Amino acid sequence: MTRIVYLNGDWLPEAEAKVSIFDRGFLFADAIYEVTAVVGGRLLEYAGHAARLQRSTAELGITCPLTPEALLEVHREIIRRNALESGLIYLQISRGTADRDFAYPENPTPTLTLFTQAKSVLENPKVATGISVACVPDERWGRRDIKTVQLLYPSMAKMEAMAKGADDAWLVEDGFVTEASSATAHIITRDGRLVTRGLSNAILHGITRASVLSIAETAGIPFEERAFTPDEAMKAAEAFITSATNFVLPVTAIDGHTVGDGKPGPLTLRLRELYIKQKLADAI
């Protein structure tokens, strides 16, 4: 089925959506993005993604061409036009098109595009087995809190991890895990405490991360926001990642070392269940 995508106010069959070669998203990775999960034709965590979009654009001085209300309507319309039941919506805003120059153009017209990807998000065979990760040096830029499309290094890191036989990379800087290639990294200590890195420019401020911490608090699961080493993670009782489309996904091996008993951990699975229950109930 041909998808209908959104480009600067137009609804187009995907093959007809064209962006200029002078777009700064293309030339400078001067663009930000968001990924929002869709289940049952409804948006999960929309408010969180919209707020982070606002923050990323403000950090880069890019102006979103639509009001918050109009942007939500475009999300709803793209679900309708593609009869999307389950999957994700990808949104990207670049600064716009201009002759190639390192200085930003004056008053550019941003390029706003959205497309859908249908996929099963609730049913994930990796939940039963967990994923394996390999530690790779974190060589990304210093503003990882801004969700830019500058994703070459995460892509390289994932390829390096996969070449080692792992499913994904955990990025390591100054001896501590920052995050996964496209997800937040967490562990559960042997005394049942959830540990996740605190917010800074070193990591993306995960929307799923924030929700999981709030769910942990309500469920009486103690947590600490601090950095942890790969060694601490390998010796932890459980490990997991969070992201918009993975929700809470167990990690059962790190650099070939089994985490806990090698099976998805009970607290991880409980957090996944609580997360899905709450987010489906709140979906819009």
Active-site residue list: 147
- Sequence-distant (≥ 6) Cβ neighbours of residue 46 within 8 angstroms: 36, 72, 75, 284
Encoded tokens for 280 = 């489906």
Rounding to the nearest 10 degrees, give the CA dihedral for residues 200, 245, 173, 135: 160
CB 56 within 8 A of CB 63: no
Q: Kindly tell me which of 35 and 60 has the beta carbon lying closer to ligand PDD.
A: 35
What string marks each residue from 101 to 140 as x (binds ligand PDD by CB under 6 A) or -?
A: ----------------------------------------
Q: Minimum distance from CB of 184 to ligand PDD (Å)?
A: 5
* Amino acid of residue 223: F
Three-state DSSP state, 48: helix
Stretch that binds ligand PDD, among 62-70, 98-106, 199-207, 229-237 (CB under 6 A): 199-207
| 182 belongs to the binding site for ligand PDD (CB under 6 A) | yes
Which helix (H) or strand (E) covers residue 178, if one does? strand 176-180
* Amino acid of residue 209: R
Indicate the residue whose CB is closest to ligand PDD: 208
Kindly give the interhelix angle for 207-219 and 46-60, rounded to the nearest 10 degrees: 130
Q: Kindly tell me which of 168 and 179 has the beta carbon lying closer to ligand PDD.
A: 179
Q: Minimum distance from CB of 107 to ligand PDD (Å)?
A: 30
Total interface residues for ligand PDD by CB under 6 A: 14
| 179 belongs to the binding site for ligand PDD (CB under 6 A) | yes
Q: Kindly tell me which of 92 and 245 has the beta carbon lying closer to ligand PDD.
A: 245
* Amino acid of residue 208: T
Q: Kindly tell me which of 180 and 259 has the beta carbon lying closer to ligand PDD.
A: 180
Q: Hey, which residues between 224 and 253 contact ligand PDD (CB under 6 A)? A: 242-245
| 199 belongs to the binding site for ligand PDD (CB under 6 A) | no
Question: How many Å apart are CA 118 and CA 154, to the nearest integer?
Answer: 23
Q: What are phi and psi of 282, to 5 degrees?
A: -95, 0
| 264 belongs to the binding site for ligand PDD (CB under 6 A) | no
Q: Minimum distance from CB of 182 to ligand PDD (Å)?
A: 4
15 DSSP 8-state letter: G
* Residues in contact with ligand PDD by the rule CB under 6 A: 35, 179, 182-184, 204, 206-209, 242-245
